[in-house]
Amino acid sequence: MDFLNALVALLNFVIIPATAYGAQLALGALGVTLIYGILRFSNFAHGDTMAFGAMVTILVTWGLQAAGVSLGPLPTALLALPVGILATGLLLIGTDRVVYRFYRAQKAKPVIFVIASLGVMFIMNGIVRFIIGVDDQRFADGERFIISARNFREITGLDEGLAFRTSQGITIVVAIIAVALLFWFLNRTRTGKSMRAFSDNEDLALLSGINPERVVLYTWLIVAALATTAGVLYGLDKSFKPFTYFQLLLPIFASAIVGGLGNPLGAILGGFLIAFSEVGVTYAFRKVVSYLAPEGWEPEGLLQLLSTDYKFAVSFGILLIVLLFRPTGIMKGKTV
C-alpha cells in the first residue's frame, strides 16, 4: 500500500507535470530546430513568438467567452487557437518580409540573422506587453480536472491523491497530434520533403528547382503553428505572463541543443529530458521516500536537490554535459 502511495505521489508531483511541461518544451524546441535546420539561425524571438500567439488566442478566447461561446468541459482557448495561429503566421511572414528577406538577399552570414532575431524579439516583446500588459492573465475555463485528488482518493482508498488536470491532458494529446502531423508533413508530402532537401543541401535543392522563398514561407507557417500551440498550452497549464515566455526561451533552446539542433526527433527527446530533470531535481522527494522507508526512517530534510529558483540551472547543467561529451546533441543534429 505504501509503495502504491509513493508511486501515486511521484506520478502526481513529478511524472504528470513533467510530461505536460516536456510536451510544451518539445513543441517550442521543434520550432527552434526547424528554423535552425532550414533558415540556418537560432531564432531568439521564439519565446516572444509564443507569447504573441498565446496573446492573440487569449484575446479571442475572452471575446468568445463574452459572447457566451464555450466548448463545454474543454477550454474555449482551443476554439481560439486557429485564429492565434493565423495571426502569428501573418506576423512571422510579415517579419520575414520586412527583416529577414533583406538579409537573405544580402546573403548575410547566419550570425547576422541571429542578432536581427534578437531585435525582432524585443519588438515582439514590446508589442505583447503593449497590447495585453505585463501582468498574469488567466483564460482557462471548462472542467478543471479530468481526475481530481479527492475523487481519486475516494475511488482508490489511497492516502495520496492524484490530480490530473484538463490542461495537462489536453497538452499531451495536442502535442501528440501536432508532432504526428509535423512528421507526416515532413516525411510524406512533396513540400515537406522539399523542406528537408533544402535543409540538407541548399545548392542542390536550388538545382532541383525547389523555390527557396516557398520553403521559407512554409517554414514560418509551421513555426507559427507550433509556437502558438506551445504558448497556449503553456498558458493553459500555468498562466500567461509575457516575461515568463521570454524566459522560456532558455529551456527551449536547451532542449533543442541537447536533442541535436536541426533534428526534430531530438527536439522532442530534449524537451522531455529537460522537463523531467528540471522537475525531478527541484522536487522535494521527502513524501515519496517517507512512504517507502521503513517505520522510523523517514527523512528529516526535504530531499530537494535544488530550490525551484534554480530550475534554469538544471537545463544549462545538462546542456553543458551534453555539449562536452556529445557536441552534436543526443540525436546528432545539423539537418532536419
Partner 1 sequence: MTSNPYQDDRGNKDRSITRPAATHMGDPVKPGGSAVRVEGENPFLIGHEMTGGYGTGADILHACTIAVEPGEIAVIVGPNGAGKSTAMKAVFGMLNLRDGHVLLDGEDISALSPQARVGKGMGFVPQTSNIFTSLTVEENLEMGAFIRRDDISPTMEQVYTLFPILKDKRHQAAGELSGGQRQQVAVGRALMTQPKVLMLDEPTAGVSPIVMDELFDRIIEVARTGIPILMVEQNARQALEIADKGYVLVQGRNAYTGTGKELLADPDVRKSFLGG
Q: Which parts of this chain interact with partner 1 (CB under 8 A)?
A: 36-37, 40-42, 103, 106-114, 190, 193-194, 196-197, 199-210, 257, 261-262, 323, 327, 334-336
Residues 6+ apart with CB under 8 A from 66: none
In the complex, what is the shortest distance from the CB of residue 317 to partner 1, in angstroms, rounded to a whole number?
Answer: 16
Nearer to partner 1, 209 or 296 (CB): 209
Nearer to partner 1, 68 or 106 (CB): 106
CA 28 to CA 6: how far, in whole Å?
Answer: 32
Nearer to partner 1, 107 or 296 (CB): 107
Beta strands in 90-230 (DSSP E): 145-147, 164-165
331: three-class secondary structure by DSSP = coil
- Alpha carbon distances (Å) from 38 to 31, 201, 225, 263: 11, 10, 16, 11
Nearer to partner 1, 191 or 308 (CB): 191
Nearest Cα to Cα of residue 229 among 146, 282, 296, 173: 173
Nearer to partner 1, 153 or 193 (CB): 193
In the complex, what is the shortest distance from the CB of residue 328 to partner 1, in angstroms, rounded to a whole number?
Answer: 9
In the complex, what is the shortest distance from the CB of residue 210 to partner 1, in angstroms, rounded to a whole number?
Answer: 5
Question: Grid coordinates in use for 110?
Answer: 547566419
In the complex, what is the shortest distance from the CB of residue 149 to partner 1, in angstroms, rounded to a whole number?
Answer: 42
- Alpha carbon distances (Å) from 9 to 95, 276, 285, 298: 46, 15, 9, 15
In the complex, what is the shortest distance from the CB of residue 280 to partner 1, in angstroms, rounded to a whole number?
Answer: 25
Query: In degrees rounded to 5, what are phi and psi of residue 137?
Result: -125, 135
Q: Give CB contacts under 8 A, 24+ apart, made by 181-189.
A: 182/30, 182/222, 182/226, 182/264, 183/264, 185/222, 186/264, 186/336
Nearer to partner 1, 98 or 204 (CB): 204
In the complex, what is the shortest distance from the CB of residue 246 to partner 1, in angstroms, rounded to a whole number?
Answer: 17
In the complex, what is the shortest distance from the CB of residue 103 to partner 1, in angstroms, rounded to a whole number?
Answer: 6
In the complex, what is the shortest distance from the CB of residue 129 to partner 1, in angstroms, rounded to a whole number?
Answer: 25
CA 224 to CA 227: how far, in whole Å?
Answer: 5
Nearer to partner 1, 41 or 283 (CB): 41
Taken as a whole, the chain contains a residue count of: 336
Nearest Cα to Cα of residue 56 among 15, 21, 86, 31: 86
**Lookup result for grid cell 516525411:** 187
Nearer to partner 1, 153 or 334 (CB): 334
131: three-class secondary structure by DSSP = helix
